[in-house]
Structure 1
Amino acid sequence: MAAPKDMTTLDISGVFYMNKSLGDDLSEVFVLQGMSWITRKALGVANITLHISHKKNDAGVEVIDIDQTLSGGIKGTSEHREMDYEERGHEDHIFGKVVGKSRRLAIADVKDDHLRSGFPEELNAEGLIESIVENAENDWIAHQVWGFENIGGEKRYVRHLVLTCPNRGKRLEKKMVYDYKGPLN
């Protein structure tokens, strides 16, 4: 289902379902991130749902909290993003120890062609959301830009990903597309 017409990147609160038929295959990403074979296979067949809460904290900084669930209610990862571009550490059962930072930026300020392409100004006038997460142990950096695109005539929440592995000389470009399922309960 399309995202609501009035939804902007200022508040992406809601429940979103990964639409694998509209997005790219992520299996090579999972290999480069060092996931076990069984985890890769499970993620490959699972339906992934994002439960996103987007608000401002007491200091006025945007905070995005995301809880992922897999088919059957299996807990995925949790993400906590404070949009102040300060590095924060996190550890979870899928991605291990990571350091990440997030911020809002204008489309024109996105330097990478893949990360910038496809985001129309009219759907992203408030800017895009940038997230950079690094796992030094497994040698990968996931650089994502989030926003809205018109796909198949419908407004969709989309994440563009560039995954690099500096010590291995690898770079992957992927797009994840999500269907809007409804408001966050």
Structure 2
Amino acid sequence: MAAPASVTIKSLDGKWVLAKSLSDATDPVLALQGLGWLTRKAIGLATVTQHVSSWTTPADTTDATSATPLTHMKIEQFATGGIKGTTENRTLDWMYRPHTDHLFGSLQGKSRYTTLAALLAENTSTTSTPNSTSTSGSTPPAAKAANVAADARYLCASDASESEAQGGWLPESRDGEVVEAYVENDGAGWTAWQVWGFSSVGGDGERWLTRRFAVRRTDREEVVRVRLVYEWRGAVEEG
């Protein structure tokens, strides 16, 4: 079902199931990330469920710029068909932290609350540089800036063809806060940039948790951009 009004970008705690009929295909992304055909096939057939929990801790009082409490998020992902689950731990302070799991290996990522306006302003100028700290690849700086700008426009659904009625962001995400996350995997040669918010998905008037991804190879010019939509399945049962 669509997300109830009580669920917001600051209160995502609960169970979410990937709505395949409303989402783009995931196979091209998984292939770019180096997953084998059998694994991709199994994931494609599976029902993928995420359990999200979040909490805050006091701000770092030693840092004058950190007046806001830190938000932490834990995402436990389960899949049918015997696929081993994964767990993501995020701190929304835009600091890189390492992560390792059985699907994607060792990587590092960062997350934060931001706005689409800020994201566009930071990443669509002619001098924009990628989030990535990776030095692999040979793409010229100007081309990298163009890639970043194109990805940012997709993540923000800023093209006229992606209006609210066409599944673009709802006003609460377009004008309010969203979650931005960025991951890089130097060993496998890819980066993944994503934005989470709420969209209407085809103008149905309902709210759907939506994640837009721009996944790029760092060793060649290849990008896959996808939109994934999640159904709300209620609170996570305790115990």
CA distance in 1, matches of 2:40, 2:57: 35
TM-score w.r.t. length of structure 1: 0.94
Q: 1:87 aligns with which of 93, 96, 103?
A: 96
Runs of 4+ in 1 over 6 A off after TM superposition: none
**Percent identical residues:** 37
CA distance in 2, matches of 1:57, 1:98: 25
Q: 1:133 aligns with which of 178, 183, 189?
A: 183
The yes-or-no answer on 1:180 pairing with 2:232 is yes
TM-score w.r.t. length of structure 2: 0.74
Aligned to 1:6: 6
CA deviation after TM superposition for structure 1 residue 33, in Å: 0.5
Aligned to 1:68: 77
Distance of aligned partners of 1:85 and 1:123 in 2 relative to their CA distance in 1, 3 Å threshold: closer
The CA deviation string for residues 96-127 of structure 1, in whole angstroms up to 9 with x for no partner, is: 11100000101212221110112222356540
Distance of aligned partners of 1:48 and 1:36 in 2 relative to their CA distance in 1, 3 Å threshold: same
Q: 1:170 aligns with which of 222, 225, 230?
A: 222
CA distance in 1, matches of 2:93, 2:24: 29
CA deviation after TM superposition for structure 1 residue 65, in Å: 0.5
Aligned to 1:122: 172
Is 88-97 or 35-44 further displaced after alignment? 35-44
Aligned residues: 185
Do the aligned partners of 1:100 and 1:132 also contact (CA within 8 Å) in 2?
yes
The CA deviation string for residues 142-165 of structure 1, in whole angstroms up to 9 with x for no partner, is: 001001111232210000000011
Task: Tell me which protein shows more strand as a share of its residues.
Answer: 1
The structure that has the greater radius of gyration is 2
CA deviation after TM superposition for structure 1 residue 45, in Å: 0.5
Aligned letter for 2:99?
H
Unaligned stretches of 5+ residues in structure 1 = none
Distance of aligned partners of 1:13 and 1:125 in 2 relative to their CA distance in 1, 3 Å threshold: farther
The yes-or-no answer on 1:113 pairing with 2:165 is no
SS of the equivalent of 1:179 reads: strand
SS of the equivalent of 1:110 reads: helix
Is 71-80 or 151-160 further displaced after alignment? 71-80
The CA deviation string for residues 64-121 of structure 1, in whole angstroms up to 9 with x for no partner, is: 1000000157542211110000100011000111100000101212221110112222
Do the aligned partners of 1:107 and 1:127 also contact (CA within 8 Å) in 2?
yes
Distance of aligned partners of 1:67 and 1:58 in 2 relative to their CA distance in 1, 3 Å threshold: same
SS of the equivalent of 1:172 reads: strand
CA distance in 1, matches of 2:51, 2:119: 26
Aligned CA RMSD, in angstroms, stands at 1.5
Q: 2:199 aligns with which of 149, 154, 157?
A: 149
Unaligned stretches of 5+ residues in structure 2 = 60-68, 121-151, 158-167
